[in-house]
Structure 1
Amino acid sequence: MTKSIITKGFILSGIVNTLGILFFTKVFTNDVIPETDPVVMSYFGLLMIMVWGVAFIAVAKVFEKVKWLIAVFALEKLCYVIAYGYWFTNNSLQEVYNRDFIAGVFYSIYGLNDFFFMLFFGYVFFKIKK
């Protein structure tokens, strides 16, 4: 992966975290997402996801200088993958779709999205030279 592609990956991850949350929560007016997982996806949790997104964008052009921060990003994504796996095995996706289609789509894809970006951040971490 070239530096340009990696930079775009950081920007994409930030956009997904910020604009994605705004879209799926209908600008924080969709109560189904936080009601479905009130621990991880509370309104505060959703806001913090957006803050992480801003952090991803902030390092997009200087990622090579913050190797260990990139490891933190991969760890953060791992935490969300685990949380998603736990939620997915203990809840009904169909029930979420029955309450709100957009929330259903959110719960269908957020774990896969975080898994993809966990792999991306992990790759970047190991690619950066000492």
Structure 2
Amino acid sequence: MNNFIKKGFILAGCTNIVAVLILSRLFTNETINKYDTTVMSNFGLLMIIVWGFAYLSVSKSYYKAKWLIAVFAIEKLIYSIIWIQWRLSNNVTPIFEEDKMAGIFYAIYGINDILFFVFFSYVFAKLLK
């Protein structure tokens, strides 16, 4: 189980870092910024990468940082709620038509956050026992 959890942290970190760098085309994809100027500005995208490095940093010692894992779960919950609210008031079809990579980004980033919210919550609950 510990190996599964360690790999989960590595996957969470790599997903944040690699997905942002690829889909934002190294922060040059202005379409991502255009459709959510607050959360998905280049600064916001950079902060997503920083969170990714935070996940990687505890992958081998997560069991020593249970309250930090709770923070990770809360952070993912917040991004999940923001994505759900965004999806309820926005259509990704025009984004796909304008830029496929931005469309992919907006279509899936919240699913990723929901899955890792569940993962981090599970790890935190396990550490509380």
* C-alpha separation in 1, matches of 2:105 and 2:60: 29
Residue 3 of structure 1 corresponds to: 2
| Alignment of structure 1 residues 41-52 onto 2, 5 Å | 41-52=40-51
Residue 40 of structure 1 corresponds to: 39
Percent identity of equivalent pairs: 49
Q: CA deviation at 1:95?
A: 1.1
* C-alpha separation in 1, matches of 2:31 and 2:43: 14
What is the root-mean-square deviation of aligned Cα atoms in Å? 0.8
Deviation digits for residues 73-117 of structure 1, max 9, x if unmatched?
000000000100111011111111111011111111101000000
| Alignment of structure 1 residues 91-102 onto 2, 5 Å | 91-102=90-101
**Where does the alignment leave 5 or more consecutive residues of structure 1 unmatched?**
none
Q: CA deviation at 1:129?
A: 4.3
* C-alpha separation in 2, matches of 1:48 and 1:72: 15
Q: Does 1:110 align with 2:115?
A: no
Task: List 4+ stretches of structure 1 deviating above 2 A.
Answer: none
| Alignment of structure 1 residues 1-130 onto 2, 5 Å | 2-129=1-128
What is the total number of aligned residue pairs between the two structures? 129
Q: TM-score, normalised by structure 1?
A: 0.97
